[in-house]
Structure 1
């Protein structure tokens, strides 16, 4: 059996789980959509994902339930039943084991927690087997939109790497769970971002590239172990946004925007690059909105 066929079968099971997360899901149902026996479907799922189908479903339901408890004022028992837990007690035990605190305590204080946000395994497989980016010589030049925004003084909760200067090296150093922790932060002003830090914000023995989430200056909730909370001053940022693209082509699209930025002259807008003023950052690549990256600038005197 080809590896790509196994990976596709596991992703098919992931997609079935997503579509039926509010319903009972049996191993028989998963094996049917995967096209293998129950034993084989369970084995390849755990081999690829690192969790059994049951553990995966439970962790995903608990993470989705945590977001409901974070953002809405539903009764715990109602959330438990929505996510296919039979009793309040069973949900509380499972939630406490997964996140280290009870759902009641979490809903009252909503500290950052490590959510389970699995990636689609075929998407990951495809990227690691894609090889060098293929940039066609006949590629049509695309539009990159540019605008200036102002960021107020703020804090940023971030996780540092070791030597990473980009996303993939960072994930190798710290793992791929940072984004799910940052996504759980209720007080976030904006969505999580990947950042290239100015020199003065890099502590000795840590990476240029980090991931973080921006927070109000009065943020006083918990700081997870291994994370830092730092202050950022007000700044101006030049935002570059590429055209919408097919999600499969995200590396090509990032390269397209980077090429544009490399050739771009900010003085036509009345600004100079200011890499030491604030972090350069990127939003998570999502095809429907185009690749988005921000570079700090200052007004030309």
Structure 2
């Protein structure tokens, strides 16, 4: 069995879990999805994901359930049943063991939690095989949708790196758990982003690239340990959105949009780049919506 046989088998298991996360899942069914024995399926799954299948399912269900608990109209027992827990007590015990807080207390306070956000193993190993894409790569042009959006005065909860200028180096410096914590911040204005900080928002000895989430300007709730919060002034951003893509081709999709941005002249439409007005940012690459990135701009007459 070669490495790609393992990778594809584990990817099939991940896909099965994702499609059946609200239903009972047995190791026998996972082994059928993988095409190998239950023992070997468990072995290669832990080898490539760092978790046994049952650990993976448990923490993924608890993380999805935590987000559902934001809905005050949904009873805790209903959330538990939605994710295949058979009792309120069992769900409360599992939630408390994993996050250190009961579901009831979490609903009251909604502090940031390290939510589990799994990555498809096949995409990860394809990324390693291809290497990190650079903005200087030349790609065939593709259709990219462009619009200008107003951002209000707001705050940014972020985790800084050390010297990273891209996502991959950032993950090597600070780990890959940051995104899950950002996703747990209930008061977020938008989804979490990877961002490139202009000089005015950086601190000595910290990286250009970071990850964060924007919250209202009057946000005064808890900031996760190791994170900080800064204010961002109002600004305009020019948003570039590429076409949908196959998830395994996310690097190519990013390179297409980067090429479009590098060739784009905003002055033709009455704007100029305004790097110091705010961070340039990227949204998580989702194949169904296309890759999205934004850069600050100002009208030429300002």
* TM-score, scaled to structure 2: 0.93
What's the CA shift for 1:139? 6.7
Taking the TM superposition and a 5 Å limit, the aligned residue runs for 1:191-206 are 191-206=191-206
Tell me which stretches of 4 or more aligned residues in structure 1 moved more than 6 Å. none
Alpha carbons 1:80, 1:91 under 8 Å: kept: yes
What's the CA shift for 1:284? 1.4
- Secondary structure of 2:194's match? strand
- Distance 1:175-1:132 versus aligned 2 partners, 3 A rule: closer
- Matches of 1:82 and 1:28, distance apart in 2: 22
- Matches of 1:139 and 1:293, distance apart in 2: 17
State the match for 2:177 in structure 1: 177
State the match for 1:97 in structure 2: 97
State the match for 1:298 in structure 2: 298
What's the CA shift for 1:141? 2.8
Taking the TM superposition and a 5 Å limit, the aligned residue runs for 1:22-171 are 22-131=22-131, 141-171=141-171
- Matches of 1:133 and 1:293, distance apart in 2: 15
What's the CA shift for 1:290? 2.3
Deviates more, 1:100-109 or 1:19-28: 19-28
What's the CA shift for 1:248? 2.5
What's the CA shift for 1:244? 2.6
- Matches of 1:231 and 1:295, distance apart in 2: 18
What's the CA shift for 1:267? 1.5
State the match for 2:264 in structure 1: 264
What's the CA shift for 1:132? 7.0
Alpha carbons 1:71, 1:186 under 8 Å: kept: no
- Secondary structure of 1:252's match? helix
- Secondary structure of 1:94's match? helix
State the match for 1:250 in structure 2: 250
State the match for 2:282 in structure 1: 282
Alpha carbons 1:13, 1:33 under 8 Å: kept: yes
Deviates more, 1:146-155 or 1:23-32: 23-32
Gap regions ≥5 residues in structure 1: none
- Matches of 1:171 and 1:272, distance apart in 2: 32
- Matches of 1:199 and 1:11, distance apart in 2: 40
What's the CA shift for 1:146? 2.0
Deviates more, 1:200-209 or 1:21-30: 21-30
Gap regions ≥5 residues in structure 2: none
State the match for 2:20 in structure 1: 20
- Matches of 1:188 and 1:139, distance apart in 2: 35
- Matches of 2:133 and 2:35, distance apart in 1: 33
What's the CA shift for 1:110? 1.2
- Matches of 2:104 and 2:159, distance apart in 1: 27
- Matches of 1:196 and 1:247, distance apart in 2: 23
State the match for 1:3 in structure 2: 3
State the match for 1:215 in structure 2: 215
What's the CA shift for 1:287? 2.5
- Matches of 2:233 and 2:109, distance apart in 1: 27
Q: Deviations over 1:23-77 (max 9, x none)?
A: 2222122112212122111111111111111111110111111111013422212
What's the CA shift for 1:260? 2.1
Alpha carbons 1:11, 1:120 under 8 Å: kept: yes
Count how many residue pairs are aligned between Structure 1 and Structure 2.
Answer: 300
Alpha carbons 1:246, 1:287 under 8 Å: kept: yes
- Matches of 2:207 and 2:131, distance apart in 1: 25
